[in-house]
Homo-oligomer: A and B are copies of this chain.
Amino acid sequence: MDIPYVIGVDMGGTNTALGIVDARGNILYRSQVSTTDYSTGEEYAEALGNVINELIEQNNLEGKIKGIGMGVPNGNMNDGTVEKAANIPWAKTIVVPLAAMITQKTGLPCSLTNDANAAALGEMAYGSAKGMKDFMVITLGTGLGSGIVSGGQLIVGHDGFAGELGHTTTVRHNGRLCGCGRTGCLETYASATGVARSAREFLDLNPEKKSVLRDITYRNITSKDVFEAAKAGDELAGEIFNFTGKILGEALCDFITFSSPQAIILFGGLAHAGDFLLKPLREAIDHHILNVFKGKTKILVSQLNDAEAAILGASALAWE
């Protein structure tokens, strides 16, 4: 008999959310535990392992769980470790063999990877990429993450850290300074933070243009403000999305030359900007794509529920 359920664990910077998931992507039972209330990886693994074991017992699912998948900052799928994750106190400077520790506590196989890779596996198991073997997910949140599937396999690279497309830098030579210390990284343009940054830049550079964004405290402008303004017909806000879509579209053209995906699935807050982002993005691709790839790659927006996607994505690892 097939084992019917898996467990997905989404380890965030503050809390760790988990759920028991069926093969159709329904989250049946949920629980959570703090990510940061522990001073060592052992303590965290002990706490998380206990919560997992309780969740299984309470619901009489002993023997019905195929495995555990985790979405983890700086998670290395090749060896199941968390490597120097800046925002996790117990893994800030060291490598923690978290998957092995969870297996020891629960007796279940455990795999982990970063959240964008998990998102890609989630789309393949339950979402828009069902049945696809070549696609990528671009997550547009605070930064820009990427999960790339080629020939049905997640691209993780020799060290487990492939797919950092937010830090391709050539989209603008000598462009904006990035948190990584370099310049021109794609995520300084194409992310929620990037849109807010563009807004401030556009306001500065176009003092003659009216915009409702001028009524917001300058340093507090968010991508959501820009979206609301664009919806209300604010011209400058529209231009900011045009600029963002164009840069992202040009970058996607480069990504397509790499792995020629059947689809690129956009996920995260900014993906919900709809045609404000998608129209200039698709136009940039049509205009800029190498002839052999013209019209071949679909640009889709994830249909997974934002609140569930992280657990679902992580759980998809356990079906692999």
**Measuring CB to CB, which residues of chain A are less than 8 angstroms from any residue of chain B?**
132-135, 148, 150-151, 153, 155-165, 167-173, 180-182, 250-251, 253-255, 257-262, 288, 290-293, 296
Contacts and interface: CB of A to CB of B under 8 A. Distances in A.
Given A157-B259, A257-B164, A260-B162, A291 B180 contact: yes
Find the residue from A159, A165, A296 having the highest chain B CB count within 10 A.
Answer: A159
A131 to B, nearest CB: 11
B258 A163 contact: yes
A136 to B, nearest CB: 10
Contact of A150 (B160, B162, B170, B257): B162
Given A134-B157, A288-B182, A290-B182, A258 B169 contact: no
Given A169-B254, A169-B288, A257-B168, A133 B158 contact: yes
Contacts of A255: 258
Given A150-B162, A180-B290, A291-B180, A156 B250 contact: no
B170 A250 contact: yes
Contacts of A260: 156-163
A177 to B, nearest CB: 14
A292 B164 contact: yes
B153 A153 contact: yes
Q: Please give me the 3 A-B residue pairs with the lowest Cβ-Cβ distance, nearest first.
A: A157-B260, A162-B260, A158-B262
Nearest to A289: B182
Contacts of A160: 260
B170 A258 contact: no
Contacts of A164: 257, 290, 292-293
B259 A162 contact: yes
Contacts of A158: 132-135, 260-262, 296
A77 to B, nearest CB: 11
